[in-house]
């Protein structure tokens, strides 16, 4: 290495360090102080320079680099993270009397002492636990069942308001918190575990929905559900595109000895660079608590995030320890849920919305009315059985409520205000999106469109068809399918086989080589066996195992399409409901036309040589549950192998489970298997079992 090269690298390292510090400082100013010092364009230029340096010098990339906010490689799945300190739930109250009862219980348990309380907004998001070691974020986990959740560290790193590396305590010489922590710098506690709530701002959801509607996609319903769905995405790059936020509200490990109150914990969190909700108050009595709660019942509607109540906590940590907890919730904290607001308005019309599974959902089109701080124009009516039971009719005066402060819900009719001769509402005879006949679920209350080519269901059906478990078309993911549907390149699975590389190359972020790779993957999928095609068609109630059993029983697509209800119910695991779903699917003319187009595209309509339906199959009659990260294959591939050998797989452990195949980081399913005495196998032990049952014949 020449001196010049070494000097250049040293210069890059220095510039990289300065850029990291500068970008994180701008993140702090923007997200924590709401006082940005530079424009978005200037910020983006700094980030581009950082990424260019890291591309030239990959060794400079670290988990704490601001570049990791844009997301890393997709995950195969989430590992299980066990909480060393359980994440308990919080008991709820719904009125002033219940809050007073809580205060009385606390004072009795504290031998009559009057506690101080801290009152915080109850953010409507997803609870997370964050662990820091030596000031660096090392793990983020969802609440899960309170004992263990999903490890979402890669997704959490994309949240720009969340510090990846903590500041020293009271490092800001002008900070008001210096009166609590002194005018000196202390390193953050090590280790440190904090708890918080990940959420999405209302304005961010509106931005996302504007983009979705421009592409002809259904908008997301509310910030809370969108947050939960975003954190479950396996690709952090997709998570980064949705700007999640977080507020931290507690410290469960690493609390310094001199900190004695929750109010001081919030100040300490803020001092280390954590985003803390500014709207919290210290109260000397329950009367003060009630006053704060009353103020926020209306004020909350001016916020850019959803909150469905207040959280009231005993302030003194020593008193908290004295109060303790039940098996489900601490005794020193309670949530006060705001009462649902209602309003009256006219029901202008009842329209029909087609869901991704073909469900035809009635929707109330309302005279606009202000409710819980927003103008409500539409509300779900759930299903047509509910419409007829409550006798909703066009022209009715109705009472509307926001369930959970998010979703508008029509709760009742005001019968004395009904217009004369208002006709009863009847279920639809046809799908409004494609005109196909509407079918009522034989076992339920929903009416459905069973046309697989229905334009209202296209995107979800294409994603399912291309999924790894079905036709396994590598590279054909949700983002690409959104573009294809938006540009009318694919209306059903058969359209995929008419695509070419030149057409795909015209899509955004689609290079020539990527387009060729996807076309090759589509061509390769023509050779997938019949059971995968059956799964890909999205027939209601037909999962991977049922598809394999159907393919093995009937042998060809044509034989299955001709099968009667009686013949279908002869297949293991196929009862009357499943058989009716299969028969209904193939009785729809549009679905039969789709099958013929797939035949013309050269797909395999014959079953592969399978053992799945044979009683002498080596694993016949055995049920397996697969958990943890496998080394030799994916979980879907293991499921398919079990089925090929005549076994069945389940997703939960019960007394009927014969074996659990446990990979790395196996969590609650392994624990349950141990408690029930179910045999646990490693991948190697599973292979040994197969060898012993097949005479060492490796399939």
Catalytic positions, please? 122
Which residue's structure tokens are 């590992």?
79
Residue 264 CB: number of other CB atoms within 10 A?
Answer: 19
Please name which of 292, 310, 278, 277 lies closest in space to residue 405, comparing C-alpha atoms.
Answer: 310
Cα–Cα dist 613/623, whole Å: 14
Two structure tokens written together for 512? 């020539």
Kindly state the DSSP code that residue 29 receives in the 8-state scheme: I
The set of long-range contacts for 62-68, using a CB threshold of 8 Å and a minimum separation of 24, is 63/136, 63/137, 63/157, 63/164, 64/20, 64/136, 64/137, 64/164, 64/165, 65/20, 65/164, 66/19, 66/20, 66/23, 66/24, 66/27, 66/164, 68/157, 68/158, 68/164
Cα–Cα dist 581/159, whole Å: 43
Contact 423, 395 (CB under 8 A): no
Q: What are phi and psi of 264, to 5 degrees?
A: -70, -35
Assign residue 666 a region: left if phi > 0, alpha if psi is -120 to 50, beta otherwise? beta
Please name which of 198, 156, 200 lies closest in space to residue 304, comparing C-alpha atoms.
Answer: 200
By DSSP bridging, strand 359-371 and strand 342-354 are antiparallel
Cα–Cα dist 345/369, whole Å: 6
Length of the chain: 699
């Amino acid at each position: 290495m020449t001196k010049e090269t070494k000097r250049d690298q040293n210069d890059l390292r220095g510039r990289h360090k300065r850029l990291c510090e500068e970008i994180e400082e701008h993140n702090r100013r923007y997200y924590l102080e709401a006082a940005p010092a530079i424009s978005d364009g200037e910020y983006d230029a700094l980030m581009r320079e950082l990424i260019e340096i890291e591309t030239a010098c990959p060794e400079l990339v670290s988990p704490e680099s601001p570049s990791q906010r844009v997301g890393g490689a997709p995950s195969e799945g989430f590992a299980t993270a066990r909480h060393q300190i359980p994440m308990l739930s919080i008991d709820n109250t719904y009125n002033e009397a219940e809050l007073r009862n809580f205060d009385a219980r606390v004072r009795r348990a504290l031998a009559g002492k009057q506690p101080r309380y801290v009152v915080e907004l109850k953010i409507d998001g997803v609870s997370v636990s964050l662990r820091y070691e030596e000031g660096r974020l090392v793990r983020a986990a969802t609440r899960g069942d309170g004992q263990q959740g999903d490890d979402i560290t890669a997704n959490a790193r994309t949240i720009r308001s969340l510090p990846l590396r903590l500041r020293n305590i009271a490092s800001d010489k002008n900070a008001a918190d210096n009166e609590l922590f002194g005018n000196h710098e202390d390193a953050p506690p090590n280790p440190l575990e904090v708890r918080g709530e990940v959420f999405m701002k209302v304005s961010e959801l509106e931005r996302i929905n504007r983009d979705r509607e421009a592409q002809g996609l259904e908008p997301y319903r509310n910030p809370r559900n969108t947050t939960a769905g975003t954190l479950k995405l396996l690709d952090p790059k997709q998570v980064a595109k949705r700007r999640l936020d977080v507020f931290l509200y507690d410290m469960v490990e690493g609390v310094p000895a001199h900190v004695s109150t929750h109010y001081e914990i919030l100040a300490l969190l803020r001092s280390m660079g954590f985003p803390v909700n500014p709207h919290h108050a210290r109260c000397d009595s329950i009367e003060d608590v009630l006053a704060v709660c009353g103020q926020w019942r209306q004020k909350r509607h001016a916020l850019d995030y959803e909150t469905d109540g207040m959280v009231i906590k005993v302030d003194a940590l020593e008193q908290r320890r004295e109060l303790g907890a039940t098996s489900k919730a601490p005794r020193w904290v309670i949530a006060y849920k705001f009462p649902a607001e209602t309003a009256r308005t006219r029901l202008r019309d009842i329209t029909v919305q087609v869901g991704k599974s073909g469900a035809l959902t009635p929707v109330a089109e309302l005279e606009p009315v202000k409710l819980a701080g927003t103008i409500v124009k539409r509300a779900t009516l759930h299903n047509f059985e509910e419409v007829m039971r409550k006798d909703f009719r066009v022209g009715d005066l109705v009472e509307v409520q926001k369930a959970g402060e998010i979703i508008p819900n029509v709760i009742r009719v005001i019968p004395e205000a009904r217009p004369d001769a208002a006709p009863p509402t009847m279920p639809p005879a046809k799908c409004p999106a494609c005109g196909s006949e509407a079918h009522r679920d034989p076992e339920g209350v929903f009416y459905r469109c069973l046309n697989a080519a229905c334009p209202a269901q296209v995107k979800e059906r294409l994603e399912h068809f291309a999924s790894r478990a079905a036709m396994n078309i590598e590279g054909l993911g949700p983002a690409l399918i959104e573009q294809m549907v938006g540009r009318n390149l694919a209306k059903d699975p058969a359209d995929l086989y008419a695509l070419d590389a030149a057409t795909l190359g015209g899509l955004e972020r689609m290079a020539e080589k990527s387009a060729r790779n996807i076309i090759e993957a589509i061509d390769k999928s023509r050779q997938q066996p019949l059971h995968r095609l059956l799964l890909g068609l999205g027939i209601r109630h037909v999962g991977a195992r049922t598809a394999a059993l159907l393919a093995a029983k009937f042998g060809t697509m044509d034989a299955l399409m001709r099968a009667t209800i009686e013949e279908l119910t002869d297949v293991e695991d196929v009862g009357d409901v499943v058989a009716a779903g299969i028969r209904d699917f193939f009785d729809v003319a549009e679905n039969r036309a789709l099958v013929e187009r797939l035949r013309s595209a050269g797909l395999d309509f014959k079953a592969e040589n399978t053992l799945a339906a044979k009683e002498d199959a080596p694993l016949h009659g055995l049920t397996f549950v697969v958990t943890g990260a496998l080394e030799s294959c994916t979980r879907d591939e293991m499921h398919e192998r079990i089925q090929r050998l005549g076994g069945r797989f389940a997703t939960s452990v019960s007394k009927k489970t014969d074996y659990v195949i446990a990979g790395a980081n196996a969590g609650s399913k392994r624990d349950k298997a141990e408690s029930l005495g179910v045999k646990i196998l490693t991948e190697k032990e599973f292979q040994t079992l197969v060898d012993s049952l097949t005479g060492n014949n490796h399939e």
